[in-house]
């Protein structure tokens, strides 16, 4: 099963392109031409900051490719980009999702490497220099990434690697079990390796990056990271990643795709299926939390029981018991049991418990 990237025979969905020009060359004699790909959707208020952070790089990229994915704030977006139009290549397409927008940028790119940056994130001025230093030190690497500073309301709240400690070696297995968590906006990757893996799967609106890193790694791409935080990542309520439950459901879809489409070993298949079960339990815990917040105690009990089927830890056991004995008293204790209410690392989900789909409706 080939990735559904929507670009068969090199055809893209782009409606038009403003070419711009190669506004600055990398240092003399350097072969590492970097194309920066920025998908833009509902980020007009942040896009100038993102572009400025690229223009200020001590290792200047070869080009900046911005793909407007049918953004509803296009007039404001284009107004914000006006001062930079002679320094960017601007592509416009219908709304097809972040995977399609990145694929359009990759196909337009002319660099050896692709540096990804989301339109609402920004880099420190030495980000590309540090990534290139890693690639120079080990030319066999196909992808490098780094730590990120997480921002909420423009204030730092954590570092990504503190929340998700990284395995020293990045492998297919470490990616599967989430011991290696690659932030797309921190990534510089070989365009050839991305293309060889099939680019981003446009069938995913979330976790499309996780899917690509897995396929690249399985195909033999070598990956590494450094632990300095040179990227700022905004946690926004409106982003696709804000819905934690939906993110987990799409992560399950990625695991199921790996199981169905890759010739994984018996051990790798076991890991995949264990991760599906673990993530299913996490989905039910999310459902339990939102049901409690809405005061729907019957749904909360049902979700806790399902979570216990996959992940019967002491926290889940205690939660199930408390829900049956005194559900109203249990609600304020969610944080104590490691089940925080509402705002998490990815922001607040916009769904009410009454809108929460049941698991049987989402295979």
pLDDT tens across 205-228, in order?
Answer: 889 999 999 999 999 999 999 999
Q: Provide the domain limits for residue 201.
A: 8-242
Same domain, 27 and 64: yes
DSSP 357: P
Position 291 confidence tier, pLDDT thresholds 50, 70, 90:
low
Question: Which of 46-60, 95-109, 161-175, 301-315 comes out lowest in average pLDDT?
Answer: 301-315
In a domain, 115, yes or no: yes
In a domain, 32, yes or no: yes
Looking up residue 92, the CATH number of its domain turns out to be 3.90.550.10
Check pLDDT > 90 for residue 313: no
Of residues 344 and 36, more confidence is placed in 36
Residue 328's pLDDT is what? Answer: 53
Per DSSP (E only), the strands in the chain are 16-18, 34-40, 63-69, 89-93, 113-116, 122-123, 143-152, 155-159, 188-190, 223-234
Residue 149's pLDDT is what? Answer: 96
The angle that helices 208-218 and 98-108 make with each other, rounded to 10 degrees, is 50
DSSP 361: G
Question: Which of 18-22, 130-134, 175-179 comes out lowest in average pLDDT?
Answer: 18-22
Same domain, 222 and 293: no
Boundary-marking domain end, from 173, 208, 242: 242
pLDDT tens profile 58-109: 999 999 999 999 999 999 999 999 999 999 999 999 999 999 999 999 999 9
Total-model pTM: 0.79
Nearest-angstrom CA–CA distance, 281 and 307: 4
The angle that helices 314-325 and 266-293 make with each other, rounded to 10 degrees, is 30
For the chain, what is the domain count?
2
In a domain, 282, yes or no: yes
In a domain, 314, yes or no: yes
Half-sphere exposure of 210 (CA within 13 A, CB side): 26
DSSP 344: B
Of residues 327 and 345, more confidence is placed in 327
Nearest-angstrom CA–CA distance, 36 and 23: 12
Number of H helices, E strands in the chain: 13, 10
Mean pLDDT value across residues 47-57: 98
- β-partners of residue 93 are 69
Same domain, 40 and 101: yes
Question: Nearest 5°: phi and psi at 78?
Answer: -70, -35
Nearest-angstrom CA–CA distance, 118 and 171: 25
Burial of 199 (0-12, 13-18, 19+ CB in 10 A): buried
With pLDDT > 90 as the criterion, what percentage of the chain qualifies? Answer: 62
Same domain, 197 and 79: yes
Contact by Cβ (8 Å): 90, 64 = no
Question: Nearest 5°: phi and psi at 84?
Answer: -115, 5
């Amino acid at each position: 099963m080939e990735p559904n990237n929507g670009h068969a025979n090199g055809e893209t969905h782009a409606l038009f392109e403003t070419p711009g020009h190669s506004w600055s060359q990398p240092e003399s004699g350097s072969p590492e031409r970097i194309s920066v790909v920025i998908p833009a959707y509902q980020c007009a208020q942040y896009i100038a900051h993102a572009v400025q952070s690229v223009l200020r790089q001590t290792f200047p990229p070869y080009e900046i490719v911005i793909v407007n994915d049918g953004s509803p704030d296009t007039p404001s977006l284009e107004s914000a980009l006006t001062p930079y139009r002679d320094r960017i290549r601007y592509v416009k397409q219908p709304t097809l999702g972040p995977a399609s927008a990145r694929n359009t940028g990759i196909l337009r790119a002319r660099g050896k490497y692709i540096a990804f940056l989301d339109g609402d994130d920004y880099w420190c001025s030495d980000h590309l220099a540090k990534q290139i230093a890693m690639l120079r030190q080990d030319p066999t690497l196909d992808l490098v990434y780094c730590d990120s500073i997480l921002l909420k309301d423009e204030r730092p709240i954590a570092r990504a690697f503190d929340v998700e400690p990284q395995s020293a070696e990045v492998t297919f297995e470490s990616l599967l079990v989430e011991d290696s968590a690659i932030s797309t906006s921190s990534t510089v990757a070989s365009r050839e390796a991305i293309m060889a893996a099939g680019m981003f799967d446009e069938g995913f609106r979330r976790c499309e990056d996780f899917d690509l890193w897995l396929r690249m790694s399985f195909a033999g791409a070598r990956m590494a990271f450094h632990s300095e935080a040179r990227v700022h990542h905004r946690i926004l309520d409106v982003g696709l990643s804000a819905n934690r439950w939906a993110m987990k459901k799409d992560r399950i879809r990625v695991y199921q795709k790996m199981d169905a489409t890759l010739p994984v070993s018996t051990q790798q298949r076991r890991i995949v299926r264990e991760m599906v079960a673990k993530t299913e339990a996490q989905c039910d815990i999310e459902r339990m939390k939102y049901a409690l917040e809405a005061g729907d105690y019957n749904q909360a009990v049902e979700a806790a029981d399902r979570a216990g089927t996959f992940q019967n830890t002491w926290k889940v056991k205690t939660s199930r018991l408390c829900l049956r004995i005194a559900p109203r008293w249990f609600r304020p204790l969610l944080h104590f049991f490691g089940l925080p209410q509402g705002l998490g690392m990815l922001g607040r989900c916009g769904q009410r418990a009454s809108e929460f789909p049941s698991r049987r409706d989402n295979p």
